[in-house]
Amino acid sequence: MKKYFYVIENALLNLSKNKGRNFLQGAMIFAVITTTVIALSIHNTSVTLISEYKAHFGSEVSISPERMPSNLPGITAEQALAFSQSEYLRDFEVSEPDDSSEAVDAVFYLKSPELLEAFAAEVRGKGLPDGYKVDIDRDAYARMVTPLEGLQDISFTFLLIVLALGAAIMVLLSVIAVRERKYEIGVLRAMGMKKRKLAMGLGVEIIAITCVCYLFGMIAGWLLSQPISDALLTGQQSAELMNAVAAQPLTSVKISVSPLTALEIFGVAILLASIAGIISVRQVTKYEPIKILMERN
């Protein structure tokens, strides 16, 4: 291990030299990390919320006449009680009947949204006549979930673009960096430094830059993702939807950077570092010292 100590020392010393180049590379990683934090945390938050909302609104079933206005009466308390005796439900609520009629407002809570059809079939089996629909509150569902799904799509596309662009730029930067350092590499190789150690040195440099940029990128991304999410959500909510539903629409999602998100982004950082590292190492192993030094002389 001690034999490798100087390689690490040399790599860290190299960081303080060539500030311009390192800054450029660092800024690139920083930008990618920041945008990834934003995209990923928005994405993850919307995924979580969607599943929560789906579970909530998707399992809130009511039974009502198919076409409104209708002369069909609402279901009776008796019916409601019969329907509520179901394996598929976790709970139900029935209001007091009106004075004028037998009809009640009943809400059935499914154990999970997928059980809707099974429950509907069961209810029909128990004698619910045609002309009634067994369904969730589609309006509320759309109001809550649609903008989130839009957000999820946007952030995912954005994430892919950032990653592809980031990877491409990292490749470019690494190629340029190694070219720029060809002479230095030639000198080290001429002095007898092995390719493996040279590669290790370059790796240490890239990892050091990446770690610092990861930290700063996380902080910047965390600060920026909330305002950006708010702006996106506002854009997602179409005017029609706002008019269609009088109820309070979704204007804000609390964005959080979960440990999982942080880990995913660390994965992204490692991916970027690996790309840069692999490119550098490939370049280094391609060069023979004599050729580099001859070019110079």
Q: Total residues contacting other proteins (rule CB under 8 A)?
A: 26
Helix axes 138-180, 182-190, angle to 10 degrees: 60
- CA proximity to 47, closest of 264, 211, 207: 264
Instruction: Tell whether residue 2 is a contact of other proteins (CB under 8 A).
Output: yes
- The residue among 172 and 190 lying less far from other proteins, judged by its C-beta, is 190
Segment interacting with other proteins (CB under 8 A) among 20-28, 38-46, 105-113, 289-297: 289-297
Instruction: Report phi then psi at 55, rounded to 5.
Output: -65, -40
- Interface mask toward other proteins for 190-219; x: CB under 8 A: xxxxxx------------------------
Helix axes 2-16, 195-236, angle to 10 degrees: 50
| Nearest approach, Cβ of residue 189 and other proteins (Å) | 8
- CA proximity to 167, closest of 278, 261, 260: 278
| Residue from 6, 131, 242, 285 binding other proteins (CB under 8 A) | 6
- The residue among 90 and 194 lying less far from other proteins, judged by its C-beta, is 194
SS3 category, 109: strand
Segment interacting with other proteins (CB under 8 A) among 1-9, 60-68, 96-104, 250-258: 1-9
- The residue among 4 and 124 lying less far from other proteins, judged by its C-beta, is 4
- The residue among 94 and 200 lying less far from other proteins, judged by its C-beta, is 200
| Residue from 65, 97, 249, 289 binding other proteins (CB under 8 A) | 289
| Nearest approach, Cβ of residue 211 and other proteins (Å) | 23
Instruction: Tell whether residue 20 is a contact of other proteins (CB under 8 A).
Output: no
- The residue among 58 and 201 lying less far from other proteins, judged by its C-beta, is 201
SS3 category, 281: helix
DSSP 119-171: HHHHHHHTTPPTTEEEEE-HHHHHHHHHHHHHHHHHHHHHHHHHHHHHHHHHH
Instruction: Tell whether residue 3 is a contact of other proteins (CB under 8 A).
Output: yes
Instruction: Tell whether residue 297 is a contact of other proteins (CB under 8 A).
Output: yes
| Nearest approach, Cβ of residue 293 and other proteins (Å) | 6
83 token code pair? 């329907």
- The residue among 190 and 260 lying less far from other proteins, judged by its C-beta, is 190
- The residue among 3 and 254 lying less far from other proteins, judged by its C-beta, is 3
| Nearest approach, Cβ of residue 25 and other proteins (Å) | 17
- CA proximity to 92, closest of 125, 53, 123, 117: 123
Report 171-190 residues binding other proteins (CB under 8 A).
Answer: 184, 186-190
Q: Which sign, positive or negative, has the C-alpha torsion 273, 274, 275, 277? A: positive
Report 74-103 residues binding other proteins (CB under 8 A).
Answer: none
SS (H, E, C) 185-245: HHHHHHCCCCHHHHHHHHHHHHHHHHHHHHHHHHHHHHHHHHHHHHHHHHHHCCHHHHHHC
Q: What residues line the site for other proteins (CB under 8 A)?
A: 2-3, 6, 10, 13, 17-18, 184, 186-195, 288-291, 293-294, 296-297
